[in-house]
């Protein structure tokens, strides 16, 4: 469960203050898959990074699974991100010198609450990654990299999945497959999934669609 209470984010630019996210109160329940749409520069990424404990709000409270994250120290925030948040980023978040399989081994060495080996095999199979398990990121395509990033985000069993354009580099077939997997994971494991996207086809897989315009979050469905 993810909750924003009167959250506001202001950036300073010289003498100017820019309100990236205006005062927002919103709550996303477990099992909900949310689409967040809006034009570039509207504050979507700022919203997402506050939800992911990567930056703190100027005002208000962000609550993850009942835990106030505003005011936590950097070590606790890192632990929260590792245990509770699964990031799927636009930029590849893969370690360049680790093979696909080793990317998961690294997480396994760091985090105890992870998928079983069978679950990982199934996930890799569903994402058509089994054959590239031993390849380095530099040896696989952009679409495969994106799917590995998605598998990594799901591997640590996070309660919240934050995806920034997760299907941007995928063809339609793979994009739909990814959305089905995200949707299934969200429902079966009671996660909260927030997807920032420009692709309107993805909204079909979501329970609610929010639109961000000039820092104001509005529900559209």
Partner 1 sequence: MYLAWNEIIRNKLKFSLIIGIVIMISYLLLLLSGLANGLMNLNKEAVEQWEADAIVINADANQNVQQSMIKIEDIKDKFEEQANLKELAVIISNSAVEDNAIVFGLDEGSFLMPDLVEGEMFTNENEVVGDYSLKESGFSIGDTLELSNSEETLKITGFTESAQYRSSSLLFSNNETIEKLNPMLSEDLINALVVRDSNWKNVELSDDMEVLAIDEYIENLPGYLPQQLTLNFMIIFLFIISSSVIGIFLYVLTLQKTSLFGVLKAQGFTNGYLARSVLGQTLIVTMIGTLVGLALTLLTGIFLPPAVPIEFDYLTMIIYMMVLIVVAMLGSLFSVISVRKVDPLKAIG
Neighbours of 14 (CB within 10 A): 5
Rounded to the nearest whole angstrom, what is the least distance from the CB of residue 76 to partner 1 in the complex?
10
Q: Give the count of alpha carbons within 13 A of 102, CB side only.
A: 10
Shortest Cβ 101–partner 1 spacing (Å): 11
Choice between 25 and 55, CB closer to partner 1: 55
For the CB of residue 13, give the shortest distance to partner 1 in the complex, in Å. Answer: 16
Nearer to partner 1, 13 or 173 (CB): 13
* Rounded least distance, CB 71 to partner 1, Å: 18
Q: What angle do CA 211, 215, 217 make, to 5 degrees?
A: 35
Distance CA 47, CA 24 (A): 10
Stated as kind and residue range, the H or E segment containing 9 is strand 2-13
Report the candidate in 153, 155, 172, 174 with the shortest Cα–Cα distance to residue 163.
153
For the bound state, the minimum distance from the C-beta of residue 152 to partner 1, rounded and expressed in Å, comes to 8
The smaller minimum CB distance to partner 1, of residues 85 and 127, is found at 85
Q: Which helix H or strand E contains 61, and what residues bound it?
A: strand 59-64
**Residue 219 neighbours by CB under 8 Å, 6+ apart:** 208, 209, 210, 211
CB nearer partner 1, residue 147 or residue 209: 147
Q: Which positions touch partner 1 (CB under 8 A)?
A: 49, 52, 54-55, 74-75, 78-83, 85, 87, 89-91, 93, 95-98, 102, 105-106, 109-111, 136, 152
**Residue 54 beta carbon to partner 1: minimum distance, rounded to whole angstroms:** 5
Q: Which is nearer to partner 1, 58 or 90 (CB)?
A: 90
Closer of 139 and 214 to partner 1 (Cβ): 139
Query: What residues contact 142, with CB distance under 8 A and at least 6 apart?
Result: 169
- Who's near 186: CB < 8 A, 6+ residues apart? 31, 32, 33, 161, 192, 193
């Amino acid at each position: 469960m993810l909750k924003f209470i009167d959250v506001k984010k202001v950036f300073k630019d010289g003498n100017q203050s820019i309100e990236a996210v205006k005062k927002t109160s919103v709550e996303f329940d477990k099992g909900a898959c949310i689409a967040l749409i809006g034009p570039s520069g509207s504050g979507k990424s700022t919203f997402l990074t506050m939800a992911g404990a990567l930056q703190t709000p100027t005002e208000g409270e962000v609550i993850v699974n009942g835990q106030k994250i505003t005011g936590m120290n950097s070590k606790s925030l890192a632990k929260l991100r590792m245990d509770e948040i699964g990031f799927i980023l636009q930029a590849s978040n893969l370690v360049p010198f680790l093979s696909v399989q080793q990317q998961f081994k690294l997480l396994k060495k760091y985090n105890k609450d992870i998928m079983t080996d069978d679950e990982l095999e199934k996930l890799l199979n569903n994402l058509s990654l089994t054959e590239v398990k031993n390849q380095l990121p530099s040896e696989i395509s952009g679409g495969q990299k994106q799917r590995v990033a998605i598998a990594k985000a799901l591997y640590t069993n996070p309660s919240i999945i934050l995806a920034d354009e997760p299907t941007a580099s995928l063809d339609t077939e793979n994009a739909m497959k990814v959305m089905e997997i995200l949707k299934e994971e969200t429902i079966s494991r009671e996660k909260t999934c927030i997807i920032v996207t420009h692709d309107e086809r993805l909204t079909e897989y979501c329970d609610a669609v929010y639109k961000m315009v000039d820092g104001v979050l509005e529900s559209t469905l």
